[in-house]
Chain A
Amino acid sequence: MILAGRRIRGGTASGKAVVCRDPISFLGGIDPLTGKIMDEECDSKGVSISRKVFCFPFGKGSTVGSYAMYQLKLNRKAPAAIINSSAEPIVATGAIIADVPMIDGIDVGLLRTGDRVFVDADRGTVDVRNLVERHVVTCIVRNAGRILLLQRSDKVGSFTGLWAGVSGFIECGETDESAARRELREEIGRDKVRLVNRVETQCFRDGPNVWCVHPFLFDVKDRRVQTDWEHQSVEWVLPKEVSRFDTVPGLPQIILKLL
């Protein structure tokens, strides 16, 4: 899967990813002699970033952190590349003076320590070799303030037993909106629906897959629902009740954005 971001410092590099969920300070956060992460809050504490693709949301802490990265380079422990969600001046400066390729604008939440990553900082792209991108639609169907949740049956290939919107793969040659309307027809037998809202694609990591969900909100005139084999039960719920259900990843956020 290829992720597109922005070049901060050019160059190319490949290697295994080391991912931190929290902001990093190079001064005090990384051992300059070994390249190991010392930051207590980092979930990859103790892992060395040397010659790895170091991924974290953004930098924090003292401006001397830029020089700390130069020290890593002098000790031959610098990372092969840096990937940030949003670059800030301290890490960007460090990457430039230490000649480390760097990209920002990447959702670091999609990456996991151990991923095989190729960074082309000149183009601003990250190729995660072990990841497959899967595009799906999720339709939230609304009637008089309540929305439709469907429990996935044990015959479907993924997320069995979890609650979801009307969803399915976008098929070859199909736009996402036509996929959404097709799924509504197939899964709940509804043809006459009114598109009320759609928001930007939301991506979620799930093992070797990244689910790129295209969210839609449709209004229907009544609550007639004709399910097929893909679902075992349905409920019309108030949006605030969604948190009581065991849903597929990201569903509550998608509903929040759509409504």
Chain B
Amino acid sequence: MHLTTWDERVLAGEEGHGRQKAMELLVALGDIYGAKRLIPIASAQISGASFKTIGDAGTKFLEDFSEHAKVTVRASLNPLGMDKKRWKTMGVSEEFHSKQNRIVRAYEVLGVEPMYTCTPYLAGNRPRRGQHIAWAESSATVFANSYLGAMTNREGGPSALAAAIIGKTAEYGLHLAENRVPRVRIDIQEIPLGLEPLAGFMVGKIAGKRIPYLPGLRLNPDQHKAFGAAMAATGAVSMYEFSVPGVRKRVDTSSIEELVILPTTDLLMQSEELRGDDDWDLVAIGCPHCSMNEIKRMAKYLKGRRPAKNSDVWFCTSRSVFKSCPNEVAVLQKFGKVLCDTCMVVAPIEKMYKRTASDSGKAMVYLPTLGKQRASFRTTRDLLEVISR
């Protein structure tokens, strides 16, 4: 890999121990992936913020590392294992809280913005088309690559942190135009309302490592968010290409090697398969974190209805969205907890619940594994109906 004089200085340790380690990491990963150089990034988004996912070892690493390094570009974090303010009402233990707070402090010392969300693009950090970024959260990278047109690989936690410290990342994978070309075309017949996450769930499985091209995909931004999150959870690719009916768009289809038809009946069958049981302890909405529009739409439906009180309810969102629609949040709070900084995937949910229903395709992958839950998929509308009368 070609390094600039400054890169070399950092690698030699002349800019301090923390930067040296960060540079070692970027160079090693760049070599593994055959990158030719490092390129500047506009922002970083770092995964590995919940104590549940990184544990004592991760905490200790961040604490040790924070003594030697500071981020140099805008950087934010993935959700924590708890709402920073209402962790107690959430049911998080004192012990978890104090361990989680050590991680929060370490990232603060590193200079990372105290923004804990999988949707930084809805919380004030929206990258522009063509901008290089180093984001780690899988649902955020797929949204940034596919909907916003920014360029990022799915970074690991430490590599995103290293990129934030150096302000650069290795140029490989989705940072190069030639690797952003679709290789499989998937024609989705029609997506029944609320099943967008399951369309993503199935597309991820079909696509595997290949970027899929989805012609005629008419989704609003929130639906893209849910679709992409599920696709990135079942597949190994952080980007899809799509076109909208009636809008001309030049898509390079020269590398497409397979055409797959995804019939509506398959989506319905998948929905049936993930339906699970009809009873649960928790309804969890907001994976990825709810947008302001989603909060408003849910509040509009629930206003004038009464809580059914048949299970706990979590609406997960970013603190920025939470703050920007207080009236709607107040409506939702009658039906459950509106939680910030956290979500059902990274919170220690297994310590509180056994059975969870969600409208998220991504959560259908992680609730049964990471969360040890018996999971049930329902559309958002289904869940709102169940939790209200």
Contact = CB atoms under 8 A, between A and B. Distances in A.
Interface of A: 6, 8-9, 32, 63-64, 66-68, 70-71, 74, 87-90, 92-93, 96-97, 104
Contact of B57 (A74, A93, A104): A74
Interface string B7-24: 000000000000001001
Contact of B28 (A8, A64, A71): A8
Nearest to A95: B28
A67 B156 contact: no
A88 B29 CA distance: 8
Considering residues A8, A32, A90, A104, which has the most beta carbons from chain B within 10 angstroms of its beta carbon? A8
B156 A96 contact: no
B32 A8 contact: yes
A87 B33 CA distance: 10
Contacts of A9: 24, 28
A70 B61 CA distance: 7
B72 interface: no
B29 A89 contact: yes
Contacts of A96: 21, 24-25, 28
A63 B157 contact: yes
B159 A93 contact: yes
Given A9-B24, A70-B60, A93-B158, 19 more contacts: A8-B28, A9-B28, A32-B57, A64-B53, A64-B54, A64-B55, A64-B58, A66-B157, A67-B55, A67-B58, A70-B57, A71-B55, A71-B57, A87-B28, A87-B32, A96-B21, A96-B25, A97-B21, A97-B61
A66 B47 CA distance: 13
Contacts of A70: 57-58, 60-61
Q: Which 4 A-B pairs have the closest CB atoms?
A: A71-B57, A67-B58, A67-B57, A70-B61
B281 interface: no
B31 interface: yes
A66 B28 contact: no
Interface of B: 21, 24-25, 28-29, 31-32, 47-48, 53-58, 60-61, 65, 156-159
B56 A66 contact: no
A92 B57 contact: no
A105 to B, nearest CB: 10
Contacts of A64: 48, 53-55, 58
Given A63-B156, A66-B156, A93-B156, A88 B61 contact: no
A63 B61 CA distance: 14
A115 B21 CA distance: 31
Contacts of B57: 32, 67-68, 70-71, 74
Nearest to B62: A67
Considering residues A6, A88, A96, which has the most beta carbons from chain B within 10 angstroms of its beta carbon? A96
A29 to B, nearest CB: 14
A74 B126 CA distance: 38
Contacts of A89: 29, 32, 156, 159
Contacts of A87: 28, 32
B60 to A, nearest CB: 6
24 contacts: A6-B31, A8-B31, A8-B32, A32-B57, A63-B47, A63-B48, A64-B48, A64-B55, A66-B156, A67-B48, A67-B55, A67-B57, A68-B57, A70-B58, A70-B60, A71-B55, A74-B57, A89-B29, A92-B25, A92-B28, A93-B28, A93-B156, A96-B21, A97-B65
Contacts of B47: 63
A104 B33 CA distance: 13
Contacts of B25: 92-93, 96-97
A68 B48 CA distance: 13
B158 A92 contact: no
B56 A71 contact: yes
B99 to A, nearest CB: 14
Nearest to A90: B156
Nearest to B136: A63
B61 A67 contact: yes
Contacts of A93: 25, 28-29, 156, 158-159
B32 A67 contact: no
B376 to A, nearest CB: 25
B345 to A, nearest CB: 14
Contacts of B21: 96-97
Contacts of B157: 63, 66
Contact of B60 (A6, A8, A74, A90): A74
B55 A88 contact: no
Contacts of A90: 156
A187 to B, nearest CB: 44
Contacts of B24: 9, 96
A58 to B, nearest CB: 10
B86 to A, nearest CB: 27
Given A64-B55, A67-B54, A97-B158, A92 B29 contact: yes
B32 A88 contact: yes
Contacts of B158: 66, 93, 97
Nearest to A86: B32
A111 B61 CA distance: 32
A123 to B, nearest CB: 15
A12 to B, nearest CB: 16
